[in-house]
Amino acid sequence: MNILEKTKSGLELYLRELGVALFGIADISSIRDEFRLSEKNIKRFDRAISLGMRLLDSVLDDIGEAPTPLYYHHYRQLNYVLDRTAFLMASRIQGMGFGALPIPASQVIDWKEQQAHVPHKKVGVLAGLGWIGRNNLLVNPELGARFRLVTILTDWPLDPNIPLPFGCGNCRSCLAACPAEAIHEDPRDFDHVGCYEKLKEFRNRGLVGQFICGVCVKACRGNAKHPTPS
């Protein structure tokens, strides 16, 4: 193990102590044209560190057919913790002599298209954390979709992880759960507009103060909780 990999292992242990459940390195060269950043930052960074923190089961399990105020609060608090963790890690990387740029966990630029500065889910796929499921979320084999992500761009020359293949198998729990009927058999057929309209409805009803749902997040528990039928 070289010195860079040893340092990476040390940082990963540090992150685990902070509550990070998922950690991976992505080669972002194939998706940099999707970044909504300055040209300087797009060209500077060729790696990304993807971090995931678990949502609390007790909060998700309280969701029925719509998001709850408790979930909304939990969602915002977890985003805050993710952003702080990304900042601390970026500071450490900079202290090692490399560049690092933490990208906010939930700073959406275009809600209708559900786009942020950086596509966190695609970074997570390239970092080997999971695959894009039928629910249009990053799905991890162990956690399902019950986590949130943050990204740190960097020029730290670490070896990237290997992406995982699509692994939803026969699980279609999210299709039955989706209140907008936006989820279909093929992930590419996800109805972004239908989803967005339902999110607007939830917000207009005063259930939450942001365009969030959580119903399909609750439904997706990972392969361990949804074994393939014999």
> For 118-138, what is each residue's pLDDT tens digit?
999 999 999 999 999 999 999
Range of the domain at 68: 1-230
> For 149-170, what is each residue's pLDDT tens digit?
999 999 999 999 999 999 999 9
- Identify the three-state secondary structure at position 41: helix
> For 5-30, what is each residue's pLDDT tens digit?
667 778 788 888 889 999 999 999 99
CA distance 32 to 215: 31
CB-based contacts of 63: which residues, under 8 Å, 6+ apart? 71, 214, 215, 218
Tell me, what DSSP letter sits at residue 107? -
CA distance 32 to 118: 8
> For 82-120, what is each residue's pLDDT tens digit?
999 999 999 999 999 999 999 999 876 665 566 678 999
Q: What are the distances in angstroms from CA 177 to CA 174, 186, 214?
A: 5, 16, 10
| pTM, rounded to two decimals | 0.90
Q: Is the pLDDT of residue 179 over 90?
A: yes
The total domain count for the chain is 1
CA distance 19 to 15: 7
The pLDDT, as a whole number, for residue 66 is: 95
